[in-house]
Structure 1
């Protein structure tokens, strides 16, 4: 019996596939569609303390090899999502979920997380250290001192399962430095990667999105090699207790297989989900199971992290 079931911390998931934060997760209605699909879980839209309208439109565009976006963290405020996942966890047949959060300042991040700590929510939280599309705000995870400072403060009061969403790193020394920081904390997971920040797509003679004069995060086929590199680099470096969620360039069972082969315990789908809709989870699950059957694998653990190198 071939299974794509997986586990993050003490949470079981019937399928390793789920949405990426930012796609099919703005409203309860969209989240309910993911909940009803073949996905093993959903993650909510990265939420701030107060609701945000985000950047001016058009702020997303499909491209030949993926997508570009500069959303600017539009969301309905963290209480909207916290209330929903807390309601769902009371249902007998519910899946386990991820609540994605970030403050517009360090103080706001702590305000949000302290409220989640005091709430009835018992699921996983994803602290987004990688939002690349808020004008004037740098990506937190590229500043290792600030990242260490924030996590030190967070874990002084936050005792529920927590992981971090990361931007892509591009240098081996940065993998080393980031892992050294993360290994000092009881993180449940790291999520690699958010979009590659500040790409530029040109159509004829013009940019294709309005914010930041066309600069935006790149997703889809463009980013899969970078995503796989980040997944595998952290699989090699992180404590075994810190699991990895692979995100980037997944539109087929083969793509999901490669993420798991590189060390991912779960796989998120963003651009392709936006383009195809929640039915994509059933298709990719079947394709992944077909690959596993061809190779004689029955569970993800049979091949997770078993990437082969050349002699």
Structure 2
């Protein structure tokens, strides 16, 4: 049986539904090139700020039995570094530019320059960084999110997307969906960023395992899979005219299949990619294809969004 794992959306074509989550294999040109040359279907940059940032003090990432905890603090090379990369980018593989200005004005400055350059890449505006001391996640303030998206839509008159924090209550899904549906140029949402401000304790040393914020950090991996799937499912239903990119807990073809079954157009890989490297894309894609073949599916469209309920 011939299998087709390609994805066509927003005028783009991906040979695979898999690509990196922003924050993993994306800070430097060398890392981005590793993803571009891999089996990934697209490339996304590190969330960029106006100026380069070193990020939070080390240690700020720790692998755990159920995934990872991190408090990176947006280490990046500054937005012009990533715009330069985008200008030189010469590949049919789609490129996403993740944007996370320290203020709304910073984000608007970055998007204004991106619009002027007319680069063939889509911005993913990060509304959900949980690891900046003293800076709350914009995505949890619905009124402020609406104001920011209105300003972005005025300044950047092209399609864009947003990366969302995890939501945990049906009322919050509905409230955020109402905000997002008001902006026709907002064409996709990425669900989810890490589950913020978890605490992992080392029993032997009786200590937190990362340094920033007294040990508080964003959780990824197995910890977040059910939450990520719930967010993908709810927003896939509530945002009927937009695409959802699934992110969270993907370590094999099984989790990728679940994200697509819940309604994801494409799927990002984070913690697993950090631990395994870009060879993870080949393995996960092969496992996804094997699951599809066993179930008799030939295309992703055959099962996307067709989650059964009891």
Quote the offset at 1:161 in angstroms.
2.0
Deviation sequence 1:41-73 (CA, Å, 0-9, x none): 110000001100000000000000000000000
Distance 1:208 1:180 in 2: 38
Distance 1:160 1:16 in 2: 23
Distance 2:41 2:158 in 1: 21
* TM-score of the aligned structures, taking structure 2 as reference length: 0.97
Distance 1:211 1:157 in 2: 34
Q: After alignment, is 245-254 or 115-124 more displaced?
A: 115-124
Deviation sequence 1:251-272 (CA, Å, 0-9, x none): 0000000000000000000000
Conserved 8 A contact 1:86-1:120? no
* TM-score of the aligned structures, taking structure 1 as reference length: 0.97
1:2 equivalent in alignment to 2:7: no
Aligned 1:72-151 pairs, distance under 5 A: 72-88=73-89, 91=90, 93-151=91-149
In the alignment, what sits opposite 2:251?
251
In the alignment, what sits opposite 1:260?
260
Quote the offset at 1:236 in angstroms.
1.0
Matched pairs, number = 306
In the alignment, what sits opposite 1:192?
191
Distance 1:304 1:86 in 2: 33
Distance 2:158 2:25 in 1: 25
In the alignment, what sits opposite 2:230?
229
Distance 2:118 2:110 in 1: 14
Conserved 8 A contact 2:142-2:176? yes
In the alignment, what sits opposite 1:269?
269
Distance 2:21 2:87 in 1: 20
Q: Give RMSD over aligned pairs.
A: 0.8
Conserved 8 A contact 1:17-1:269? yes
Quote the offset at 1:239 in angstroms.
2.6
- Segments of 4+ in structure 1 off by > 6 A? none
Distance 1:220 1:142 in 2: 22
Conserved 8 A contact 1:57-1:209? yes
Conserved 8 A contact 2:189-2:244? yes
In the alignment, what sits opposite 1:168?
166
